[in-house]
Chain A
Amino acid sequence: MTSTKPTQQFTLPELEFLAEDTPITIIPTHRMDTLHFISGSYGPFQPPAHIEVPLWLARLLKTKRRCHIQAPTWLNCRFLERKYDEEQRQPDRFSNLPYQYLEIAHVLVTCAEDDIPQSHTIKRLIQDLREIRQSKARAGLAAVNPVYLQMDHLGAVELNEIRPVFCQAFNHLRKLEKDLGDYIVPSYEDTQSTTSYSNY
């Protein structure tokens, strides 16, 4: 049932859509003239010259066997392991990962597993990062105060997950502080979104 109520929550497909303009380097396997899209021009495609295209186009060309994907420099075992260590060493802050790292990793690992070295390990590392950051985010709820909260390097999917609870907590605290009498605090119930990748 389509909701007619405005909601702040995104669905996972919507979050992926928003991530799909991320530039990704591909190695075309077929020649193609420059493509003039509404959103930008890309090309010409001259194998084996690398070229940067948006993620949605990279995925499409890959699934049609017109290119190979070059994994972004951060989608790499050593880098992700270092980040995981950082997450463990610094329990009160998030490590610096691309804002849409989960969405990008998900798309690439799904459509271009063969192009990503050690993809199984990468999947596991992404999952580990997701879990440790998730529990950090939840623990951060205790820090919510009625003034502001700083959450640098939080990811899009992660934010979407905690937003309802954090915003509601914030709003309640503010209300208590301001003592607005019988003012009713709106609730951010969203009955539609599934906000977690269950298995990586």
Chain B
Amino acid sequence: MASDNVFVSPEDSVMTNLSPMDAVEPTVDELLDGALSPYLSDDQDGDSPFVNEDVTKLKHAWVNEKQAPDLLPYETQLVEDLTEMLQFIEALQGEDAGQPFTVMLYQTEVERIKYLLRSYLRTRLQKVERYAMFYSGSEEHLSRMSAGEQQYIHQYRGLFETHMTRTCLDKLPESLRALDETTGNIPWNDTAVVCRVQQDVGEISVTETETVEMRRDNIFLMPYQTVEKLLQSDQVVLL
């Protein structure tokens, strides 16, 4: 019976008793009212199955990091928890593997989570390298990095400076030998980003005189600086 299936939400119950071949056309009202809401945002409502929020959060973290011009705070807890889960599952697979088919399913998911972690970490590392000269001298940015990243940035900067010094700087006149911090640019926080509003925010200032109302599910293209605080408080996500 479909009714003891926790994955069916009340509004959808009309749909689930049908086989794919003879689906009755839903009414337009049903479609417009219920069908689209699960897709509008990543929030899981009441009757949904157990979903590990960590994975959803890490997805957002990756996308946010990719879109934001500046380095965001490192998600220590998320990375730790998911890495632990991965190690746990892999250990389980070692001991009592079970049916090959289900093993394959679990391994497929493990690869997905690894991919997500990998993408998140590499996106950050790319930013750290790009702005190494600037970030390594900024307490604010260092505080947003993991211990591993902090160690990385100092060593990378050293490697970079040594290379530039040996290949050309030392052969230049003395006053030109410095590698200024602006070599390699500074992140430009006024750059455009696209975001989706996760919950009603109300009026936001966009210029000295203008405001705009930001409601749930709106999509905006705006300067990063305008939405930076909203991003920190999870009121928007970047797209």
Interface residues of A (CB under 8 A from B): 4-8, 10, 14, 17-18, 20-23, 25, 27, 32, 35, 37-42, 48-52, 56-57, 60, 64, 68-74, 76, 78-79, 82, 96-101, 115-117, 144, 147-154, 156, 159, 163, 166-167, 170-171, 174, 186
Given contacts A170-B221, A186-B188, contact A72 B20 (CB under 8 A): no
Interfacial chain B residues near A166, Cβ < 8 Å? 192, 221
CB-nearest residue of chain A to B23: A117
Q: Does B49 contact A (CB under 8 A)?
A: yes
What CA separation (Å) do A145 and B23 show in the bound complex?
46
Known: A78-B25, A151-B221, A171-B190. 19 other contacts (CB 8 A): A4-B129, A5-B126, A8-B66, A17-B115, A22-B38, A38-B86, A39-B51, A39-B52, A40-B50, A52-B8, A52-B49, A69-B20, A70-B15, A70-B20, A74-B35, A74-B36, A74-B39, A152-B219, A167-B192
With both beta carbons as reference points, the residue of chain B lying nearest to A32 in the complex is identified as: B102
Which of A5, A17, A18, A99 has a CB less than 8 Å from the CB of B39? A99
Inter-chain contact B35/A171, CB cutoff 8 Å: no
Residues of B within 8 A of A (CB): 1-2, 5, 7-8, 15-21, 23, 25-26, 28, 30-32, 34-36, 38-40, 48-52, 55-56, 59, 63, 66-67, 82, 85-86, 89, 101-102, 105-106, 108-110, 112-113, 115, 119, 123, 126-127, 129-130, 185, 188, 190-194, 206-207, 210, 212, 217-223, 226, 239
Chain B residues in 8 Å Cβ range of A8: 66-67, 193
Q: Number of residue pairs across A and B with beta carbons under 8 Å?
A: 181
A38 touches B82 (CB 8 A): yes
> With contacts A70-B20, A117-B21 known, is A41 near B110, CB below 8 A?
no
Residue of A nearest to B223 (CB): A174
Residue of chain A at shortest CB distance from B190? A174
Q: In this complex, what residue of B is CB-closest to A30?
A: B101
